[in-house]
């Protein structure tokens, strides 16, 4: 790939540049409204260690990057002379990075030459797709053409319905949520769809009843005697096996509570008493 012609600046002026993006297909303006960009100005140094930037421009208020008024396809960058004069003389990378969430992606490579006044040079485009022009009392205007990238793989989709999915629903890789809240039941999810088939066993993502928790009903059945123990006194260890839970009613006091046999010690789970 050929090098991009750099912006040339001297120590006597502020840095100002316009990046006007156009679609490669038809040359129409490529709108940038709603997108976020950063420009990391870094000495063009080859090093085994990461070279930190001397300045990071962003689209926050007063941070150096903005869209040109009335032209949302042109990105403007500015560095005041007072700030630039603290930079070392030489070549810089100032690549435009697109901000997507917490990630940064290279959007357009930019090079800057910073020299004394005698070092100011003019650069002309040597390959298709980039032009450099000079406007009165302005820095060079650098106009690259955007090159369409490779089409990415379609992402997975989450479908929803009040009934389970059928083979015609969705595509491979998709997930499906069955919303059963209208029937006072929890939601459950199927997926991912593979080979045109939805997995037959969903998993519960919202618990509306004990029966929605896999294995819980069986575990409680093993540990909980559903027949109430009725006697005229508090329960004792002989009334039910160690490690199990039982509801008991004391006819002498009229109290009903839930008890566990903890290795021979009977504990009232509701009132916290040990018998």
Closest CA to 190 of 214, 170, 165, 220: 165
List domains and CATH numbers for the chain: 7-146 (2.60.40.10), 158-213 (no CATH), 216-268 (no CATH)
Write down the H helix ranges in 113-263. Answer: 216-223
**pTM as predicted:** 0.43
One pLDDT digit (tens) per residue for the chain, 275 residues: 344 556 778 777 888 888 887 776 677 778 888 899 999 999 988 777 888 899 999 999 889 999 988 888 888 999 998 898 888 888 888 888 999 988 988 888 888 888 776 444 444 444 434 444 444 334 444 445 555 556 666 678 888 999 999 999 999 989 999 988 888 787 889 999 999 999 988 888 776 555 555 665 566 566 566 678 899 998 998 888 888 888 888 999 888 888 888 888 988 888 766 55
Residues with Cβ within 8 Å of 88's Cβ and at least 6 positions away in sequence, in order, are 43, 54, 114
């Amino acid at each position: 790939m050929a090098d991009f012609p750099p912006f040339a600046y001297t120590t006597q002026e502020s840095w100002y540049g316009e990046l006007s993006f156009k679609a490669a297909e038809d040359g129409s303006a490529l709108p940038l409204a709603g997108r976020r960009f950063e420009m990391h100005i870094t000495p063009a140094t080859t090093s085994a260690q990461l070279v930190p930037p001397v300045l990071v421009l962003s689209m926050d208020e007063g941070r150096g990057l903005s869209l040109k008024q009335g032209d949302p396809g042109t990105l403007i960058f500015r560095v005041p002379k007072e700030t630039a004069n603290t930079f070392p003389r030489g070549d810089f990378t100032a690549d435009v990075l697109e901000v997507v969430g917490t990630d940064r992606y290279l959007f357009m490579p930019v090079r800057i030459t910073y020299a004394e006044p005698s070092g100011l040079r003019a650069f002309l485009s040597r390959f298709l797709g980039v032009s450099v022009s000079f406007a009165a009392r302005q820095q060079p205007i650098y106009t690259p053409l955007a090159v369409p990238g490779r089409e990415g793989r379609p992402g997975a989709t989450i479908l929803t319905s009040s009934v389970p999915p059928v083979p015609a629903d969705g595509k491979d890789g998709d997930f499906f949520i069955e919303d059963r809240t209208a029937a006072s039941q929890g939601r459950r999810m199927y997926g991912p769809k593979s080979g045109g088939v939805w997995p037959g066993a969903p998993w519960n993502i919202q618990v509306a009843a004990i029966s929605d928790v896999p294995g819980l009903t069986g575990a409680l059945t093993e540990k909980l005697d559903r027949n109430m123990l009725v006697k005229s006194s508090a329960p004792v260890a002989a009334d039910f096996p160690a490690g199990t839970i039982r509801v008991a009613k004391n006819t002498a006091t009229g109290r009903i509570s839930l008890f566990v046999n903890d290795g021979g010690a009977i504990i009232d789970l509701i009132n916290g008493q040990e018998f």
